[in-house]
Amino acid sequence: MAAAAGPRPGTDPLRFVPVRTVAGVQLLRFFRRRDGGRCAVAFSSVRALHELLGPEQEFAELTERALRALSEPVGVRRICLDPRLVAPPVLPAAPPVDPAPPRRPAAVVADG
């Protein structure tokens, strides 16, 4: 898809939104924030999108208003513009495990 030359006067700027194509239909890709909440992501340039998600990532050009209109009906209300890091949440440290009590050697009984 061609990059937009810039926003037209009186309109929302176009954003580059990751999509995937299934049976010829483009579907928005949603992501998760560190707190587990779902979000849509949008980029201000194709370069930023490809730097983060890879050069093979498909995209659609949408305004923020159009992205909200598509994502809110499925319960996604947050949009992250130009995210810099997409990573799994940091898991809390496991509680310390009490070491098992030392094993005593079995008693040896003399025969006889």
Reported as a pLDDT band with limits 50, 70 and 90, residue 85 is confident
Give domain limits for the chain: 14-81
- Flag whether pLDDT at 80 surpasses 70: yes
pTM of the model: 0.66
Yes or no: say if 19 and 59 are a contact pair by the CB < 8 Å rule.
Answer: yes
Reported as a pLDDT band with limits 50, 70 and 90, residue 90 is low
pLDDT score of 87: 63
Give 19-48 as a DSSP string. Answer: EEEETTEEEE-EEE-TTS-EEEEEBSSHHH
Structure confidence by residue, pLDDT tens digits, 35-61: 889 999 999 999 999 999 999 999 999
